[in-house]
Structure 1
Amino acid sequence: MNKMFAIMVIIGVPVSVAGALLHWPNVLMFAVYCLTIIALASFMGRATESLAIIAGPRIGGLLNATFGNAVELIISLFSLAAGLHQVVLASLTGSVLGNLLLVAGMSFLFGGIKYKRQKFNVYDARHNSGLLIFAIFVAFVIPEIFSMKMSEGKTVSLSIGISIILILLYLFALFFKLVTHRGIYQDREARVKEQEEHEEPEWSKGKSIIVLALATLAVAYISENLVHTFESVAKSFGWSEMFIGIIIVAIVGNAAEHASAILMAVKNKMDIAVEIAFGSTLQVSMFVVPVLVLASLFFEKAMPLVFSIPELVSMIAAVMLTIILANDGETNWFEGATMLAAYIIMGIGFYLL
């Protein structure tokens, strides 16, 4: 599999550059760009896996989520510059749904096929659940409800205020987990397991950082060109901008998390797999979304923090289902299948919308 991704990168990056310079057909280049980004994401996943072994599951999961979401952030910034606000909000919705239902669902499913019962840190799960409820139920729903009685200018002002609060709370959450309460909410079994494991990283710390940096730069270039193919692809296949954002862009943008979380689950490293899925969702909703709202102020038109009703209802349903299934600190393949079924149902709905 690693050799296949390496070949895809060796072929895909030059073809992406040539196609952009020579203006090859957009539909063809859309497929090339997506496959190349997924291949680059596999290298990002391997690098962050090595860093996870060196730095521990929490920091490793955070690094994986951060570099995985860097792809999402880059694509969204170029979409903002192009004035595609609906695609941006849809891709962010898709990222939340993808991480909670697709990434976590596939991790639970494939890990559960190999192991009948998998455990992870229940304290981290409950902590993340509270933040998810805050981000989706409070920070995302309030602008939607209040904007009904507000002018566009006041809605933007409300969005700016909420965005600043979200970023500050996310930074406080990181400080809480990584500094003031690091290791306090770790159960005894997890500590013993951590001490017994002496896995060697595939790459050194220096090589992992270099690979991450180069892959992120390549993804940034390809993502800029990918954005310009959306309109042609939508017309050719009859897809709406919402479907492209929620399903296509979200899957491509989160390819690194998909690969890494599933790999960790199959190795029975559920703490890292859950940290990737939940941590990435929190980072998108509490950091990436507000950063994009603030960044939009520097473009022609500001993007308010107002999602559509279908997007909001889908995110609320995803959060509730994830909390109910994951709050006991253990999982199995059937719970993963349930989450995937929910994702497919929502995908069908957005396709037909």
Structure 2
Amino acid sequence: MAPTENSPLLSNNNNNGDQSLPMHRPTSYPSRFSPHAPPGSPNLVSSMWWLFTSSWLNILLAFVPLGFIAEFLHWPAIWRFSLNFLAIVPLAKLLGDATEQSSLKLGQTLGGLLNATFGNAVELIVGVVALLQGQLRIVQTSLIGSILSNILLVLGMSFVAGGLFKSENTFQQTAAQASGSVMTLGVVTIAIPAAYQGSIRMNTLFSQGFDALKSLDDSDSTLDGLLFISRGASMILLVIYVLYLVFQLKTHAFLYEAEEDQDEEEEVAMMTPVAAIIGLLVVTVITSFNADYLVSAIDETANEYHIPKAFIGTILLPIVGNAAEHVTSVWMASKAKMEIAIGVSVGSSIQIAVGLIPALVLIGWAVGQPLTLYFQSFETVVLVASVLLVNTLIQDGRSNYIEGAMLCSLYLVAALSFWVEPDM
């Protein structure tokens, strides 16, 4: 079975026993999540029919045209925001399904490429749209929020769900530690520009006093330094991400090899490769429009209803992009498949921290938007603390419900804090 966007980080279930599964979102299981394959080979029509009817979540596709109508008829901002917010939930699910089906037939290498490209497609689309609109804070908060949502809320709920049915669940320890180290590298690199900015502010404070701090924040030299660090670090992180994919898919694939399980049902291709790619392209284009309308309504909605933009970016938007994965992760954890649950959270977070954030910094460079790796100090502290907690909990290769409760509690504390964080 080829790796897909939904392939687990740490696998112990596989039909052939000799295939490696990359660390991203979990592989689908047709017996639980989709109808049985139609008789004969799928064609374009049957493939597209399956894509749009395979999940009850697709009922929410009714909000897609409503989001377009709200934008074109200039409905109030809260309606434009809410309708496009709900529209992106099923679109995220469709992207995941189409990516998964593409990888089944196209092989491991191309499957890994599709995984890297579409694994966090909603986050990428929202980020690019906000970047082009100059909404740099929305870009940063939505990416930070996606990481926190995955490693705290998704993983925490998965640990709780697994602990309700089994006193203790186990997973492959070596691969978990390796992935945790890559995640740590990503967040530490993000913290370095904040340390640089803090260092300059302290030196200015001691040498010139409080009055100099305001002019320092507006100075071109400070921004130039942050851009230099951020763009250079982004290129380095992207190289690490490529090396990590090679490490995972090729040179050290044995770390992620699955143990043979004769009871596991073989996955059936429900779409042709051509239909899956067409589905990816169509859904991506539609999602880009809904994301554009959503982002354009954020400012007005936040001001009118007194909702902090930091809360919208870090809490609400990530919940939209990760809704389908949340359900899948908790379901798999309840079936004692903790490897898959960890693959959802840690794998997606690595892709964002080491792949997506650096890529958006470089895209901003190309389009003239000064996006940097300098996040607000509060956000950086929350992110680093979250990764440290996750690494502490997964290093023993075991999980239980109290560990999940700790992760969820930290996420709730972060959500409360972002509600009162002043907009910058």
Structure 1 length as normaliser, TM-score?
Answer: 0.89
Maintained 8 Å contact 1:99/1:280: yes
Superposed CA deviations along residues 18-69 of structure 1, whole A, max 9, x for unmatched, are 2222222210121111111112223334445667888999998996675341
**Which amino acid in structure 1 is aligned with residue 242 of structure 2?**
L
Q: Paired residue for 1:268?
A: 336
Deviates more, 1:164-173 or 1:237-246: 237-246
More moved, 23-32 vs 221-230: 23-32
The gaps in structure 1 that reach 5 residues or longer are none
Which of 143, 150, 175 lines up with 1:92 in the alignment?
143
- Residue 231 of structure 1 is matched in structure 2 by 299
Q: 1:27 aligns with which of 63, 67, 78?
A: 78
Distance 1:59 1:216, change over 3 A: same
Query: Cα gap change, 1:219/1:115 in structure 2, threshold over 3 Å: closer, same or farther?
Result: farther
Aligned to 2:170: 119
Check if 1:174 corresponds to 2:242: no
What is the CA-CA distance between 1:70 and the residue it aligns to?
1.2
Matched with 2:133 is 82
Larger RCO (CA under 8 A, 6+ residues apart): 1
Deviations 1:104-150 (A, max 9, x none): 1122222332333322221211001111221112x112111223436
1:160 alignment partner in structure 2: 231
Alignment pair present for 1:7 and 2:75: no
Closer/same/farther in 2, CA of residues 301 and 46 from structure 1, 3 Å limit: closer
CA distance in 1, matches of 2:251, 2:107: 17
Worse-matched range after superposition: 209-218 or 294-303: 209-218
The answer on 1:145 being equivalent to 2:213 is: no
1:345 matched to 2:409: no
- Deviating more after overlay: 210-219 vs 115-124: 210-219
Post-superposition offset of 1:208: 4.8
RMSD value, Cα:
2.7
What CA distance in whole angstroms lies between the structure 2 residues aligned with 1:235 and 1:268?
Answer: 44
Aligned to 1:332: 400
Is 1:222 paired with 2:290? yes
**Matches of 2:162 and 2:117, distance apart in 1:** 23
Distance 2:105 2:400 in 1: 28
* Paired residue type of 1:40: L
Q: Is the 8 A contact 1:64 1:257 kept in 2?
A: no
Farther off after superposition, 274-283 or 116-125: 116-125
Query: What is the rounded CA distance, in whole Å, between the counterparts of 2:82 and 2:404 in structure 1?
Result: 28
Provide the C-alpha distance between the structure 1 equivalents of 2:321 and 2:71, rounded to a whole number of angstroms.
19
Instruction: Call closer, same or farther: CA 1:158–1:274 in 2, change over 3 Å.
Output: same
1:109 aligns with 2:160: yes
1:61 and 1:272 in contact (8 A); partners too: no
**Residue 307, structure 1, aligned to residue 375, structure 2:** yes
Give the letter aligned to residue 99 of structure 1.
Answer: N
Give the 3-state SS of the residue equivalent to 1:192 in structure 2. Answer: coil
> What letter is aligned with 1:231?
D
1:197 aligns with 2:247: no
- Residue type of the alignment partner of 2:397: G
CA separation of 1:317/1:352 partners in 2, compared to 1, >3 Å: closer, same or farther? same
Name whichever structure is richer in helix by fraction.
Answer: 1
Higher CA-based Rg = 2
Cα distance change on mapping 1:50 and 1:116 into 2, 3 Å: farther
Q: Which 5+ residue runs of structure 2 have no aligned equivalent?
A: 1-32, 34-53, 201-220
Q: 8 Å contact 2:70–2:79 — kept in the other structure?
A: no
Alpha-carbon distance change, 114 to 66 in structure 1, aligned in 2, over 3 angstroms: farther
Worse-matched range after superposition: 309-318 or 238-247: 238-247
In the TM superposition, 1:177-188 aligns within 5 A as 177-183=248-254, 185-186=255-256
Which amino acid letter does the alignment assign opposite residue 140 of structure 1? I
